[in-house]
Structure 1
Amino acid sequence: MPRLKPAILPGIAIAVVATAGTAFAVTGGDDRHPAFVQSGADAGRPVVVRTVAPSAEPPTAEANDARRRVADALSGTGLRIPAGWEIVSVRQERHDQRDVTLIRHQPDGYRLGGPHASLVLDARGTILGFTRLHDGADGPLPDRRRAEEIALRFLRQVAPDDVDGLSVHWVDQHDETVTLTDGTTATISGMKVKMHHDDGLYSWVVVGRDGAVLTYERDIAWDSGQGRRGTQMWLHDSWIAAREGTGPQPAPPYALATS
């Protein structure tokens, strides 16, 4: 394997995410992310996520600070937020032992299961996670070699502190399904380049049809005893819903969703 050396809207929204087996479907090698799981009499019925938005909009100062942090973090990375998408949520959470800020953008208000662009930043402004679930590009996916080249170039720029210890684990297609406001679904596809670090943690980059980075995560721990991810999953709406008690617990390899 090659080695690298060199804010919030008030109210309650109810979204029908998809039928079982389609919502949040993800493919890609040995860490396939499952859809919401249903069994028995509930199998095949629509999975409903009841999204409880916070009761007040973020103060202006907090929203402005979040915008500044996003602009600073994304500057020079090639990562972008779609035009017109607003910050709908700013929350303080944990990424294993680190305090992080999760900043979420959406085109139509806070709604789990819909298109979103989310950013996980630590106290220093380091990007620990980014995703842009927006189907805005046409054409074929890059092949494995091209996806790897794009991912490595991106990592050398965005994570120079982390890149030297990484080796490519595998490259495969990765699909995410989101539910639009009219109830239809859209699939956002990319090529996922998964990497393993000398320190035992994982990173990955998902490259879209236009060669842009759709998703990036770093410093992800694997819980071998549980056979599932150990690090929290702030970019994944099904995991957030389970943690908040508005959706079912996702099966492995998703992390266990606990408050």
Structure 2
Amino acid sequence: MKQTIPLLQTKNIGKTYLVGEVPLVALHSVNLDFYEGELTVMLGASGSGKSTLLNILGGLDTASTGEVFFHGKTLALETDDGLTQYRRNHVGFVFQFYNLIPSLTAEENVRLVTDLSNKSMTPLEALTLVQLHERKNHFPAQLSGGEQQRVAIARAIAKRPELLLCDEPTGALDFKTGRIVLEAITGINKELGTTTIVITHNESIAQIADRIILVKDGTIVSDTKNKNKKSVSEVSW
């Protein structure tokens, strides 16, 4: 699966926050390569630095030290407008909470993204990929938590991003619903070839990954290829 040149690469990434006058180091010299089509799970407890790293990879935050490269081009030197274009054109985000607009239908929530890009699929095509096309006219309040999350996934992938970043996508869901959401994520990864990074504290979810990265105290503890990859239906927690 690996190609010579990574889609996304970090070199000596560090992140330090000031809490009052006290520096808090969130990431220490992170070096990672992510390749096209990979499904990576980053595991770590709350406060381990995995969300900080995901935000830097997605251009929502910037590193204090080091560089991030996308297709070999550094993001660290980009202007704010450049980072906005990076997020808009290349990255899809899925968060633990769905961030849907209550007054818009499922289709209209997805259209918010498709109207921003000329390479987007239609809202109905995106909803079909997550098996929600029949619910296109429903408002968020009329959808279950899992359905709302799948609308959020449809919205994230509708612009055909090269990179899909998922921050605890099953964290607010029960097991049965979480499994449906994971099926949607793995389906997108397989059907569209979207490079996908999922962060979670749930070790069982790592079984669906091509690759597993363990983060602890802002440091990459291990980075291993998953030799026993399982389908979502085989995983329980």
Taking structure 1 as the reference length, the TM-score comes to 0.31
Which structure has greater strand proportion?
Answer: 1
TM-score (norm 2): 0.33
- Of Structure 1 and Structure 2, the greater helix share is in 2
**Looking at both structures, which has the greater relative contact order when contacts are Cα pairs under 8 Å and sequence separation is at least 6?**
2
